[in-house]
Amino acid sequence: PPRTSFPVLHDSLTRFMALLRSTKVCLPQCGTDDNGKAAELVTVYVSEEEPVINRTSTTKLAEVVNRDARSLEDVLLRATRAKSVAAAWSDTHLPECRKFWSNSQGRAADYDLSEDASDIDAFISHCWSPPENWMIVMGPDVNYAVVKSAAVATMAKDIALARNDLQSWGQLLLWIDKACIPQDHETLKLACINLIENFIRRSDNVCVILTWTYMERLWCVYEWACMLKDKAPERCFLQIESFMHERTLPLYLDCIRNFSIKRAECFLESDREILTNKIDSTYVSHEAFETLVKATAVALIARSMAFRGGRSRSLHNTFFTPWADLALELGFGELAAALRTCSASEWRHTAAIRVLMNATVSDVGQVDVPVQGVSAKEYHGHINHWFNSSVSPLLGKIRLEALIT
């Protein structure tokens, strides 16, 4: 059968769901008003900002001033519910999530999306701007904000699935700069930025929305540095599936192969000294840090591609094998050998057999024929076990060599 490219599929799904939302097909889900018309159940941005005195940031400033024994970190730590910023293509609130991710200009209303938190389920690291060649590589109909919204939803569902509570994914607490930093108050904004490392430490997981230019942004590199310092690899997740295809694969390989702190760019060049000093205070040298970044990036991307590679030998050879090859090219011989022990297709087959074994049995003792499928939880479990037992220890050794003790 003819193959459908991701850009075409993405555009088709987006248009199809937009059509459903505009017709009576979606009325049972949306509810109706007194006239029988579809009623919106999503939060709508107001056209004007709240008066300063009524803003959450004003209340938060008062809390900071009168915090008594509470630390500044405890007062300023906030999180937003996944359902407020994440949506799959079929979700009715996708337009609002797209609006949130469309630009980095935060408003008082965005800060209202978050709430005070003591701990965070996942810290989201990402680039606000798409790669300059986005439209050329991904196609003009693939919207960066929509893909990011769907990527965060996927990440939240993966975490919820691992906790045996998939239905709760929308309630997960996420740290996202635009919603958790009061963008309308410069003093509080600066205080939150200075506490980013602490916020990462307070997060159970770190999710990186990894484009092929992520490593070219120094702020992103700094967040990656904080992640490597405070989180074990099994707590670090990449959302890359929607971005990775035959045309972007070489861009990703070059991005990791050529990574260096000097090549990373800052929107404000004045930030460079601040960020490099933070890296210098944690790692023994720039070279050691760059080595750790390359090793972890190769390993984490390989783990992401293992899920895809298990579907067929062709996909394994196209998207997984190049990362084992790059590990060897960069001098990570042990890592390359560990990556080559991945047997994702075998694990996927096992997960599919388990679905068959769990088929229901009818009253007459005959096994009902189940819908073809794979136990996602079991398949993920196999790959994560392999990574945690065979790959993570090697990354731990490189990490110890890179960190200042």
- Mean pLDDT score of the chain: 86
- For 206-224, write each residue's pLDDT tens digit: 999 999 999 999 999 999 9
Is the predicted pLDDT of residue 368 greater than 90, yes or no? no
Is the predicted pLDDT of residue 264 greater than 80, yes or no? yes
374 falls in which pLDDT band (50, 70, 90)? confident
Per DSSP, the three-state class of 1 is coil
Give start and end residues of each alpha helix (H) in 108-143. Answer: 108-111, 134-138
User: Residue 313 to residues 184, 198, 395: CA-CA distances in angstroms?
Assistant: 51, 42, 27
- For 97-123, write each residue's pLDDT tens digit: 999 999 998 889 999 999 999 999 999
Copy the structure tokens of residue 279.
């890296």
Copy the structure tokens of residue 237.
């997740």
